[in-house]
Structure 1
């Protein structure tokens, strides 16, 4: 079972040596953050960090990327939750077990509310 939160990140590299310059000094890359197993600690990452398939707080998303990468992040954009079928089914079951934290009536509403249409089940 595997799930990954996928982000597009624009990074700035600042040389510590004043005699070194970079051109360009920014670049884009793809950051994949392993999604915790549904029900395990941290599994509500999508609820706490996404809204309608986008990051819900740009400054917070940049801080998370900077902490993980150790370089300044100029921008972070959520792209998708990429997961296998087993992870997707477990996520749906964990959400269905308690809808209260999501303030929603059903699982499809939760997934749409936080992830929009940005879920890709791989290997199907």
Structure 2
């Protein structure tokens, strides 16, 4: 098991229909654990990101709102934070998946850009 995670900057908007709040929006960092390569959900990087950005902001806003149980007005991908073992396993799973025609390095770059941070 790894501590690999996708990191997002998320703007939350408070419901101020009956009250005032200052500020009524704020940004927070949301860390979503990365699924182990080859298991259900491991292709989150493919489905969520393109060129180091959120690929479908509306969809990711909906997901982030579910994660936080709060309305989300903006979501931006920051990085995949991982260790070397998880990154190696991710590369191996990509290489073994017939859905990918390109080498793992190219696949990861196409989806995550240069936003992979390897932790010790």
TM-score by length of 1: 0.91
Query: What is the Cα deviation at residue 105 of structure 1?
Result: 2.2
Select the residue among 101, 111, 114 that pairs with 1:114: 111
How many pairs does the alignment contain? Answer: 119
Query: What is the Cα deviation at residue 108 of structure 1?
Result: 1.2
Q: Distance in 1 between matches of 2:113 and 2:99?
A: 18
Query: Are 2:14 and 1:13 equivalent residues in the alignment?
Result: yes
Q: Please list every run of at least 4 consecutive aligned residues from structure 1 whose deviation after the TM superposition is greater than 6 angstroms.
A: none
Q: Distance in 2 between matches of 1:105 and 1:14?
A: 45
Gaps of 5+ in 1: none
Q: Distance in 2 between matches of 1:33 and 1:68?
A: 9
Counting only pairs closer than 5 Å after superposition, residues 59-70 of structure 1 correspond to structure 2 as 59-70=58-69
Q: Note the aligned Cα RMSD (angstroms).
A: 1.2
Query: What is the Cα deviation at residue 15 of structure 1?
Result: 4.4
TM-score by length of 2: 0.94
